[in-house]
Amino acid sequence: MSEEKDVRTNCRFCGYQCGLTATVEAGRVKGVKPDPTQYPGDESIQRGCRRWRLATEFLDHPERVNYPLKRVGERGSGQWQRITWEQALDEIAEKLKTLKEGYGPEMLATCIGGPHAVYWPLHRFMNLFGSPNNMGIGQICWNPGVWVNTLTYGWMIENELNSDQTACALLWGVNPAESDNSLLWREILKFRQQGKPLIVVDPRRTRTAEQATLWLPVRPGTDAVLALGLLHVIITEQLYNFEFVKTWCHGFEDVAKHVVSYSPSYVADITGIKAELIVEAARLYAKNSPATLFSGRGIDQLGCNSFPTHRALAILRAICGNLDVSGASHLTEMPDFIPELDLELSEQFPPDARQKQLGELRLQSYQGYERVRQLTMKHGRRLPMRYLTSAQPNLVWQAMLTGKPYPIRSLIVMATNPLLTQADTHLIYEALKTLDLLVVLELFQTPTSMLADYVLPIAGALERPLFETKAGTANIAYGGQQAVKPYYERRTDFDFWREIGLRLGQEKEWPWENLKDSLEATLAPTGFTWDEFCQSGLYCLPEEYQKHERIDLQTGHPTGFATSSGKVELHSELLAELRCDPLPIPKTLSPQNKDFPLELITGARFQPYYASSFRQFETLRTVHPEPWAEISATTAHRLELADGCPVWVETKRGRARFIVKIVQMCDNVVSVEYGWWYPEMEATEPCLGGVWIANANILTNADFECSDPLVGTSTYNGLPCRVVQA
Ligand code: SF4
């Protein structure tokens, strides 16, 4: 009889990786408890989280995918045959080879999303295979901010909220009380206990907004106007940091002229926020230094207004002197370990394959990437490439359907569920049905995997080593060892990509036999072994600030910023060169009309779920059984809707059913929950796990023509809609 032992491991049921101690016996996890000695080192995060408690149930949940499955009936008929990994890998590799010969390597697309997989092996495979067509969620999550900060400041930043140092916090379109940023949420609570000013900009009075000193319920999609309004007040009242602006900012006069027309009364008319609140918020932010400014997915998902909003916020942070200052933000450093860019082998991706990228986006493209890289290399820094050059999803779905500009015939989906997580479910459904090969690597069957040719079981939390690196853009890594070998026949996604690569002539490029060996090699430049790293589960160095003032030993001058001017580019020379607005100019919203008189927000997250995951768990469903459509009391009264009544929310694209919840929020706005499906329903066509019932993305669209021309961001917020009783 084998003995029980405790293993230090990690949860991975959201973007965090909280430390856990797993009690293991005979290769099975008997129980878990929080381990606050590991990153992020705060037990209160886990006290407030329900998901880690499901770890043992998660490992053995009856609906987990445990063996490779091959479709044997009609697509979507739910008829599966259990096969071996060898058969699955051989057949998939053979099919990819045939399709590549017929259509070229670009006929293969991939789709990624959640945190329960590691992505560089996929990108490495795709680079070697020759296809640029990866679809992520980058255009609506992370990428707009990365592009804006890099072209404004010369590199990425991390915002800081340190309750000891930060004097004021501005949270814009971010709701850490419900999303996964738990460490930030804990720090906000401490910060507020000290009575420090917190400004929250959000159309909804979220749990985060309830903590605010000042809540600005901005009309969806008008955030850029509001940010320019704050700049107007700060510049007019001369509340900015004169010294930093004079020495380190380029184009201040242009910004000052640009914001003249954004007076508080003008901005109030557009955003729905009272003029005096706009003035108060601007003064609070500018007069309390250091002030931090976090923006979130609410801004990333604003379509054409995402980029101008991020730009206006980047300017706001800079002119108030909150850049690379302790308690506000810091420019990150390249990692000491091997960055994702090198693991991906992106630099080897040939020019002719790069030209096949779908869309002509000015930044989110190989040309855009190379242009920005010329600047960041002034400081020896390189951004990850594949994620920032991923294809605009709408063009990939269209190429599946129409064969234009070239056919996409196969798709490998990993750790995501595009029928729920990507815009325009009807379009995606039709596109998936046209494919010659659809492979899904997942933990559970999902509506997307129900349509697959092969469903492959991947190892989840506790069954795999974890190593999170912020995509190689910062010198921080956290993670730890697996608690047990994968149950049943699950494997890591690394194994899948390596095995497919070996079958398709990539032998020389996969020197590591497994994920752990690759992590050992990744860490090697730091001088740590994998086991040494796992003792603390964290690699990072103390932050340094005001790095632009470091003296360059070659020139004898301060290092400055890695931009065209060497300064913070309030007026962006790079955007001017790309024939884009060098200053943030808000775009006009789609007008409401008599058929669709309300505005829709579709990205809302709610605990205890994470995106479209965890609907299989009875205990969580009991806590939150139904998806909500939130509206204000005034709007509900006008529409004669009562709290708890079922409604259809309708847009031009379709309709989905939610339960009315009356909350404090902007009038004439509806906010629906994201990611809802019903795993208990039939896993076959036409039901597909209830994908057509309460799925917010039935209501959205990501038409390329309407997306942002720089990054390809689609609009998920501020869409015209209506609500009718169901
Ligand atoms: S679900 Fe996320 S916040 Fe909760 S314990 Fe796991 S990693 Fe931490």
Distance (Å, whole) CA 693 – CA 670: 17
Contact 699, 721 (CB under 8 A): yes
Nearest CA to ligand 1 atom 8: 18
pLDDT-derived band at 1 (thresholds 50, 70, 90) equals low
Other C-beta atoms closer than 10 Å to the C-beta of 486 total 20
101 pLDDT higher than 80: yes
Query: In Å, how far are 135, 159, 412, 659, 664 from 442, measured between CA atoms?
Result: 17, 32, 11, 29, 38
Please write the tens of the pLDDT for every residue from 582-632.
Answer: 999 998 877 778 899 999 999 777 889 988 999 999 999 999 999 999 999
Atom of ligand 1 nearest to the CA of 14: 2
554 pLDDT higher than 90: no
Q: What is the DSSP letter of 563?
A: S
The predicted structure's pLDDT at residue 181: 61
450 pLDDT higher than 90: yes
Q: Which of 658, 673, 670, 604 is nearest to 634 (CA)?
A: 670
pLDDT-derived band at 705 (thresholds 50, 70, 90) equals confident
Kindly state if the Cβ of 17 falls inside 6 Å of ligand 1. yes
Atom of ligand 1 nearest to the CA of 40: 8
| Token reading at 225 | 């106007």
**b/e sequence 573-586, b meaning 16+ C-beta within 10 Å:** bbbeebeebbbbeb
479 pLDDT higher than 80: yes
322 pLDDT higher than 70: yes
Q: What is the DSSP letter of 382?
A: -
180 pLDDT higher than 80: no
Kindly state if the Cβ of 462 falls inside 6 Å of ligand 1. no
β partners of residue 458: 491
| Token reading at 523 | 């860490």
Contact 303, 706 (CB under 8 A): yes
Whether the CA torsion 68, 73, 79, 81 is positive or negative: it is negative
Most ligand 1 atoms within 8 A of CB, residue of 18, 20, 38 to mutate = 18
β partners of residue 57: none
**46 CA from centroid of ligand 1 (Å):** 6
Q: What is the chain's length? A: 726
**559-568 average pLDDT score:** 97
Distance (Å, whole) CA 463 – CA 487: 7
Most ligand 1 atoms within 8 A of CB, residue of 10, 16, 39, 610 to mutate = 16
Q: Which amino acid is at 527?
A: G
Kindly state if the Cβ of 649 falls inside 6 Å of ligand 1. no
Burial of 556: CB neighbours in 10 Å, binned 0-12, 13-18, 19+: exposed
Q: Any residues with CB less than 8 A from the CB of 207 and at least 6 apart, and which?
A: 175, 177, 178
Kindly state if the Cβ of 51 falls inside 6 Å of ligand 1. yes
Cis peptide before 686 (omega within 30 of 0): yes
**318 CA from centroid of ligand 1 (Å):** 33
Distance (Å, whole) CA 706 – CA 714: 7
Atom of ligand 1 nearest to the CA of 49: 4
Kindly state if the Cβ of 301 falls inside 6 Å of ligand 1. no
Q: Which of 164, 201, 178, 210 is nearest to 295 (CA)?
A: 201
Distance (Å, whole) CA 299 – CA 598: 19
DSSP readout, 110-166?
EEE--SSS--HHHHHHHHHHT---EE-SGGGTTHHHHHHHHHHHSS-EEE---TTT-
| Token reading at 638 | 């006008």
Please write the tens of the pLDDT for every residue from 275-305.
Answer: 999 999 999 999 999 999 999 888 888 888 9
519 pLDDT higher than 70: yes
| Token reading at 399 | 């190429």
Most ligand 1 atoms within 8 A of CB, residue of 9, 14, 609 to mutate = 14
Task: Report the greatest alpha carbon distance in the chain.
Answer: 77
Cis peptide before 608 (omega within 30 of 0): yes
Kindly state if the Cβ of 18 falls inside 6 Å of ligand 1. yes
Burial of 521: CB neighbours in 10 Å, binned 0-12, 13-18, 19+: middle
Predicted model pTM: 0.95
Most ligand 1 atoms within 8 A of CB, residue of 46, 478, 610 to mutate = 46
